[in-house]
């Protein structure tokens, strides 16, 4: 009689598609677990808002793109609800409404270890789980300006992207021994060796021999993308522009109809961003945490031209304090920075080195190792973590 095959540990990730960063972080960690611990665990992603929250909160993902179009209102609500006492008041007030959904979530998705990548999942899930629960790891996916809802001292471990976020967690009464700086997890394809820019440009069909400026509006094409690109084109700089419009088809169509003076390549949503970053010389982008982390890994100087007030304010400060880029919210400020970096290669080289120092391409695998240690897994090379 054959012995029964041991059951693999099951890891459940709580996420929400309110912004692309939460799903991306969970997927990056799952990918790293698979790379480090081949087929030793099973994983599952649960969109807790969509699948379990009561109406109208279950439509949060669809509402999110409209909510962020009112940035000042978003900022006001962020700051009004931030703070340890206010976060506790929110979760206490909402518990009678969320209780049934939270208990259904944990009951329907039994786990040997739980990872959350969204602030709203933490307290409700922990309360629903009670004391007899599996290890609970909170991976913070906002880089610096982290809301108090990210932190619940009942969690076993809180993994944060930056030292500033760690200090913020401790300020919100988290035990220091539970808080660890690991970086922001991104897909493994953003963590590969850089390669030669000229080789990548030839492969992509881009011009070789001129500085390449990559302009990104995020998955939804957010930010003053068109005006910024047109200002760069009219500046007299001899550059190649690569513009990624995201899912904004109308924006892409308008840019394709524009009469550009310089070589300009226009893309919609693309999965080739890792090579785009490695092949470029500068990125002009919104201050989203994922894009910032990916650019740092690519050692790509950053010009931030838009941000979501509140949670992305600290990303701007972080990039500037690390010397990895600048805040340039007006098109002319973007042009001035590009002019300076192109005419002063030594300055741009220093920014590149600062990006290399600030980047944490090992973040997802570090988190995978922490999970592997909790579950006593063996690394793919056979060693015990």
The reported pLDDT for the residue numbered 72 is 73
Residue 105 near residue 128 (C-beta atoms within 8 A): yes
Quick one: which H or E segment has residue 157? Answer: strand 157-160
pLDDT value at residue 221: 43
Residue 309: the pLDDT is 85
Query: Per-residue pLDDT tens for 271-319?
Result: 999 999 999 999 999 999 999 999 999 999 999 999 888 888 999 999 9
Per DSSP, the three-state class of 282 is strand
Mean pLDDT of the chain: 91
> Tens digits of per-residue pLDDT, 315-331?
999 999 999 999 999 99
**Rama region for 199: left / alpha / beta (φ>0; ψ in -120 to 50; rest):** alpha
Residues near 234 by Cβ (< 8 Å), separated by ≥ 6?
261
Sign of CA dihedral 329, 353, 36, 277: positive
CB 288 within 8 A of CB 21: yes
Q: How far is CA 89 from CA 85, 154, 165, in A?
A: 6, 16, 22
From 50-59, 176-185, 229-238, 254-263, the region with the lowest mean pLDDT: 50-59
Tens digit of pLDDT for each residue in 111-138? 999 999 999 899 999 999 999 999 999 9
| pLDDT tens string 249-279 | 899 999 999 999 999 999 998 999 999 999 9
pLDDT in tens, 152-192: 999 999 999 999 999 999 999 999 999 999 999 999 999 99
pLDDT exceeds 90 at position 76: no
Question: In the structure, what pLDDT confidence band is assigned to residue 17 with cuts at 50, 70 and 90?
Answer: confident
- Nearest-Å Rg of the Cα atoms of the chain is 22
User: Is the pLDDT score of 74 beyond 50?
Assistant: yes
Flag the least confident range among 26-30, 67-71, 76-80. Answer: 67-71
CA distance 365 to 112: 19
Q: What is the pLDDT of residue 20?
A: 62
Can you give the pLDDT at residue 223? 56
Q: Is the pLDDT of residue 19 over 80?
A: no
Identify any residues that bridge with 266 across adjacent strands, giving them in sequence order.
243
Q: Are 78 and 310 in contact (CB under 8 A)?
A: yes
């Amino acid at each position: 009689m054959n012995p029964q095959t041991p059951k693999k540990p099951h890891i459940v990730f709580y996420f929400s598609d309110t912004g692309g960063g939460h799903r991306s972080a969970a997927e990056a960690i799952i990918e790293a677990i698979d790379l480090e611990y081949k087929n030793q665990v099973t994983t599952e992603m649960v969109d807790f808002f969509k699948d379990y929250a009561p109406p109208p909160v279950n439509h949060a993902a669809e509402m999110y793109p409209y909510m962020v179009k009112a940035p000042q209102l978003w900022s006001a609500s962020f700051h009004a609800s931030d703070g340890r006492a206010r976060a506790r008041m929110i979760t206490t007030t909402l518990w009678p409404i969320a209780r049934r959904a939270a208990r259904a979530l944990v009951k329907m998705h039994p786990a040997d270890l739980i990872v959350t990548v969204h602030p709203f999942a933490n307290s409700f899930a922990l309360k629903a789980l009670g004391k007899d629960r599996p290890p609970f790891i909170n991976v913070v996916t906002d880089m610096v300006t982290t809301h108090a809802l990210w932190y619940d001292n009942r969690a076993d471990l809180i993994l944060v992207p930056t030292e500033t976020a760690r200090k913020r967690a401790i300020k919100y009464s988290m035990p220091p021994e539970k808080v660890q700086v690991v970086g922001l997890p991104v897909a493994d394809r953003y963590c590969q060796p850089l390669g030669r820019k000229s080789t990548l440009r030839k492969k992509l069909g881009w011009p070789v021999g001129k500085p390449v400026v990559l302009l990104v509006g995020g998955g939804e094409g957010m930010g003053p993308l068109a005006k910024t690109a047109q200002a760069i084109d009219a500046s007299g700089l001899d550059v190649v522009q690569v513009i990624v419009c995201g899912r904004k088809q109308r924006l892409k169509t308008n840019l394709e109809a524009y009469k550009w003076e310089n070589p300009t390549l226009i893309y919609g949503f693309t999965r080739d961003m890792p090579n785009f970053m490695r092949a470029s010389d500068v990125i002009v982008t919104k201050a989203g945490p994922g894009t910032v982390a990916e650019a740092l890994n690519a050692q790509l100087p950053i010009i931030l031209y838009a941000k979501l007030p509140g949670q992305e304010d600290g990303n701007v400060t972080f990039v500037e304090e690390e010397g990895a880029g600048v805040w340039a919210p007006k098109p002319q400020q973007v042009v001035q920075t590009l002019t300076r970096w192109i005419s002063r290669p030594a300055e741009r080289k220093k920014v590149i080195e600062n990006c290399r120092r600030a980047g944490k391409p090992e973040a997802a695998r570090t988190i995978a190792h922490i999970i592997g240690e909790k579950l006593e897994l063996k690394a793919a090379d056979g060693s015990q973590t």
